[in-house]
């Protein structure tokens, strides 16, 4: 069991992104197509964080062309180049799954004053 912990510690990122629930973030993801690779930006609201340690993930939701899109990103994945904080949100829940049922301005998260 200690060998597994050592392996997981070595593959964790030094500077893990500090994202909180309700924050609007830009996630820079490395996409590999054939022999070429590029960076794709996915911008949206963080609606959930799960697990912990090496398995930690966060879910980002956005609405594009009237359709809700959610992507789950592992925090320590090498495919995630960086996470930019666009604005911080003020929420009172640990999971914002209720935003899935909201449309338009009702789906907005208030901005935190920090």
Query: What is the CATH number for 47?
Result: 2.30.30.790
Number of domains in the chain: 1
Residue 105 has pLDDT above 80, yes or no: yes
3 in a structural domain? no
Could you tell me the pTM of the whole model?
0.89
pLDDT (average), residues 61-83:
94
Report the distance separating Cα 17 and Cα 92, nearest Å. Answer: 21
86 in a structural domain? yes
pLDDT digits (tens, 9 = 90+) for 23-65: 999 999 999 999 999 999 999 999 999 998 889 999 999 999 9
47 in a structural domain? yes
Report the distance separating Cα 9 and Cα 37, nearest Å. Answer: 27
5 in a structural domain? no
Residue 56 domain boundaries: 18-107
34 in a structural domain? yes
pLDDT of residue 61: 97
């Amino acid at each position: 069991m200690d060998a597994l912990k050592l392996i997981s510690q070595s593959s964790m990122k030094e500077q893990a992104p500090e994202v909180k629930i309700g924050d609007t973030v830009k996630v820079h993801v490395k996409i590999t197509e054939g022999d070429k690779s590029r960076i794709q930006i996915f911008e949206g609201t963080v609606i959930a964080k799960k697990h912990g340690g090496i398995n930690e993930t966060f879910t980002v939701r956005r609405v594009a062309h009237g359709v809700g899109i959610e992507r789950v990103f592992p925090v320590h994945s090498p495919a995630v180049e960086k996470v930019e904080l666009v604005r911080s949100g003020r929420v009172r829940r640990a999971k914002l799954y209720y935003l899935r049922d909201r449309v338009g301005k009702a789906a907005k998260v208030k901005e935190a004053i920090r």
